[in-house]
Amino acid sequence: MEYQSVFLGLGLALFLIGTAGALVRRTAIVVFLSIEIMLGGVNLVFLTFARSTQSADGAFMVMCIMAVAAVEAAVGLAIFFRMYQKTGSIDVERFNLLKW
Amino acid sequence: MFDYIWLIPVFPLIGVLVNGILGRRLEETNKSSIHWIACSAVGLAFVLTVVTFFQLLALPGPERLVEYVWFEWIRAGDFSVSIAYQIDPLSMVMCLFVTGVGFLIHIYSIGYMLHSEGRYYRYFTYLNLFMFSMINLVLANNFLLMFLGWEGVGMCSYLLIGFWFSNLDNAKAGKKAFITNRVGDFAFLIALFLLMISLGEHGVWSLRFTQVFEHAHLMPQGVVTAVCLLFFIGCTAKSAQIPLYVWLPDAMAGPTPVSALIHAATMVTSGIYFIARSNVLYSMSPLSLQVVAVIGALTAFMAATIALTQNDIKRVLAYSTVSQLGYMFLGLGVGAFSAGIFHVVTHSFFKALLFLCAGSVMHALANEQDMRFMGGLRKKIPVTYITMLLGTLAIAGFPGLSGFFSKDEILWYTFANGHPVLWLIGVITAGMTAFYMFRLIFMTFFNECRASQDVQKHIHESPKSMTVPMTVLAVLSIIGGAIGVPAALGGSNRIEHFLEPVMHHVGGHGHHSVSTEYLLMIISVVIVFIGIGLAYTMYVRKRELPHELATKFQWLYTAMLNKWYVDEIYSLLIVRPLHALSVFLWKGFDVRVIDGAVNGVAHAVGWCGSRLRIIQSGYVQAYAISFLFGAALLVMYSVFALV
């Protein structure tokens, strides 16, 4: 069907935009938003295939992803908050202590 | 009838458990309960042994062999070993004096150890553990359980020699005893395997004494000789014979009651017990008996020569023990197994007595052991003096005392079974024994007191708990010979008849007349009196004589005083090369090769890590990129793999 390729293309575009944003942007919140966009793209692909195969599996997966994303948002924001309290900035380039 | 026999070893074991677990607390709250527990455990074992002994006596001669299987210990295919005890005349004789003398020495230890340094409960725990092992050793009905006891007594000996381990010399003496015994035990184990396999070839998968001896004829002559000689090496270590006797004199580092119990009366006689028990095997191999006899005679002689010049009171007694053990082996070697066991019994009485008296002397003199600083104690500690004199007369072979009968029995059999040279060595040794023992008496109890003024002020007789066991043992040393008065002196040699069912006789002794026996007896008595007289002349009448002799025969005296340099020779030939080899293995192999390999691996991994850590930049987005490429690669791979 025609609408499938449109939705799949849209999903891919969202995913790539999200990826680019996550890799390029420096502000932690924006990186985080970009990841949310990537998840949105993935969700769209899931739903498309769920629709075309007449199965509830994809929709179920999407529900799970959305639940995880919501939790992630809460945890992520708490982390950024602490980062800002500690250093006065949420620039990811400055958090390079994750090494030996 | 003998169903309760397992209780004999279990009583001391209960003592071990109670004192071992609760002893520390008891020592702080109620010190005397420790020795009550320990002594009553051994006392009960003794009473039970006496009861068993009389029950055995009630049985007619041929039926005097009862085996009591407690439970099965090991089973592997057809091979099976049980924790089982054997009641027969030999094991009963051994068990009687082990528990009896052990009980007396436990009581003596109360007085000796109560105010001594070191943990009181630990001492009695070890002593009870020793009794448990020793009873297992003599009552076992198979070689393996006997070996368990054999190792157990060795361990207790080690623990008790090093009882005052805060002094490094004592710890070293314990180590020396243990390691020397390991050498013998190794040979013993090989013999055990050899015996097991060569009997197993004929379908007899058992180490029970009765089974083994019944089927011993199935083994070829060579194997029997090998087994006997290897067992004998084990016995030379345990019973302090050439070449492995060196540990016993050093073992005197332990508390004196321990020297009396373990290193004079009981443990060191287990080698003699073992050969007497295995007399069937040894009778099958004349060569091994010959070796036993020669080693025994040589040890008796050599140890006596060393004892002549020692100044340490306990060392004299230690070498005298080695020498007397040599006599016992001589007796066994000439086929007079009963005579050997007879001497074990009488020796345990008078040698335990002598050690206890020596302990009492040391107790009086603030632990002085050097006889050059003793003297004149006759009036000051009369009980010790009289009992020790009786013990000395007994060991010297004064007619009518216990040592006289057992020693002459051995010498008579040596002569009668055709070993005149060994007999001569034995008789000369008897003379030397009389000499050095009376030298000890004269130096300790006669003349003026050479101790320092401080020590002299505190000389006192030992407490009752020490003098009573000494008195009992003194009485036993006097009358102990009554169990084996030979027919020639109007006795019936009861112990020999009692042991007859167990002993396999080698060679007859009927072809010598009674008059020969009298003659030999007179010769040895005369030599003993010469020895005593010589000691009296040299150490009481003309006291400058020993010094003159020492300067005249300088080299001989120094060699004897330094124990024929045997320790030095062993050190040069065995200890040093082994030590050098160990050092080489440590510094050459262990440090370079093994440690090198281990450290090398660690270094290699570390180097790789130091290179790889460059990748770890810590930038989240850098990680995300590599993550992305990895994911892209995986996707591409799966796509192409599917296509």
Name the region of B240 (left: φ>0; alpha: ψ -120 to 50; beta: rest).
left
- State yes or no: pLDDT of B499 exceeds 80: yes
Span A35-74, pLDDT tens digits: 999 999 999 999 999 988 888 888 999 999 999 999 999 9
Span B585-601, pLDDT tens digits: 999 899 999 999 999 99
* Span B307-326, average pLDDT: 93
> B93-97, B103-107, B502-506: lowest mean pLDDT where?
B502-506
- Please report where in the chains the tokens 């130096």 appear, as a residue: B443
SS3 B616: coil
| Consecutive H or E run containing B473 | helix B464-479
pLDDT confidence of residue B347: 94
pLDDT confidence of residue B63: 81
Could you tell me where the DSSP H helices lie in B365-401? 382-396
Nearest to B12 by CA among B93, B123, B126, B94: B126
Q: How does the average pLDDT of chain B come out, rounded?
A: 90
- State yes or no: pLDDT of B507 exceeds 60: no
* Span B577-582, average pLDDT: 93
Residue in A30, A90, A100 to test binding to B, most B beta-carbons within 10 Å? A100
Buried b (16+ CB within 10 A) or exposed e, B114-128: eeeeeebbbbbbbbb
State how far the Cα of B83 lies from the Cα of B135, in Å rounded to an integer: 13
pLDDT confidence of residue B506: 53
Contact A100 B619 (CB under 8 A): no
Span B424-476, pLDDT tens digits: 999 999 999 999 999 999 999 988 888 888 888 888 888 888 899 999 999 99
Q: Quick check: bond before B257 cis, omega within 30?
A: no
* DSSP assigned state of B463: P
Nearest to B227 by CA among B282, B175, B302: B282
* Span B360-376, average pLDDT: 87
Span B379-429, pLDDT tens digits: 889 999 999 999 999 999 888 889 899 998 899 889 888 889 999 999 999
Contact B620 A97 (CB under 8 A): no
Contact partners, residue B643, CB within 8 Å, separation at least 6: none
Contact B613 A99 (CB under 8 A): yes
Nearest to B624 among A23, A95, A96 (CB): A23
- State yes or no: pLDDT of B332 exceeds 80: yes
Contact B139, B86 (CB under 8 A): yes
- State yes or no: pLDDT of B544 exceeds 90: no
Contact B628 A99 (CB under 8 A): no
Nearest to A96 among B613, B617, B624 (CB): B617
Distance of CA B86 to the CA centre of its chain: 22
- Burial class of residue B544 (count of CB atoms within 10 Å of its CB; 0-12, 13-18, 19+): exposed
pLDDT confidence of residue B367: 84
ipTM comes to 0.83
Span B178-206, pLDDT tens digits: 999 999 999 999 999 999 999 988 888 88
Contact A10, A44 (CB under 8 A): yes
- State yes or no: pLDDT of B296 exceeds 70: yes
Q: Which residues of B touch A97 (CB under 8 A)?
A: 618
Q: How does the average pLDDT of chain A come out, rounded?
A: 89
Q: Quick check: bond before B577 cis, omega within 30?
A: no
pLDDT confidence of residue B566: 87
Strand locations in B35-122, DSSP E?
Answer: 66-76, 79-87
Buried b (16+ CB within 10 A) or exposed e, B197-226: ebbeeeebbbbbbeebbeebeebeeebbbb
Nearest to B621 among A92, A97, A99 (CB): A92
Q: What is the CA radius of gyration of chain A?
A: 17
pLDDT band per the 50, 70, 90 thresholds, residue A3: confident
Contact B618 A99 (CB under 8 A): yes
* DSSP assigned state of B615: G
